[in-house]
Amino acid sequence: RPGLALCAGCGGRIQDPFLLRVSPDLEWHVACLKCAECGQPLDETCTCFLRDGKAYCKRDYSRLFGVKCAQCRAAFSSSDLVMRARDHVYHLECFRCAACGRQLLP
């Protein structure tokens, strides 16, 4: 479909022989697919995440939209062990008694 598609990044018509399709309805010039936050090029070597029609690298997507600890507000890494209490998620070291500050154990 080169020539018919409009780039989600710059809005221009894609005349290039190659285009990047990230979802069924969003296509980019190869040079236009960049993280909306840091500008890192998003190609076959970098995971791309979409939110509200914008593309993000994994680091920025996690920082902006990922689940964060209810106590320290930091994001979780894939290796973190967590505690859940109702709708809240905590790092193990952040899961403490609100009155005395003692760490609560599972």
Q: How many Cα neighbours within 13 Å face the side chain of 79?
A: 0
pLDDT value of residue 37: 94
Superfamily of the domain at 19-64: Cysteine Rich Protein (2.10.110.10)
pLDDT in tens, 31-81: 889 999 999 998 877 788 989 888 999 889 988 998 899 999 988 887 889
pLDDT band at 5 (very low <50, low <70, confident <90, very high): confident
Q: Is the pLDDT of residue 98 over 60?
A: yes
Domain ranges for the chain: 19-64, 67-94
| Arithmetic mean of pLDDT over the chain | 87
The set of long-range contacts for 43-50, using a CB threshold of 8 Å and a minimum separation of 24, is 48/22, 50/22, 50/23, 50/26
pTM over 0.85: no
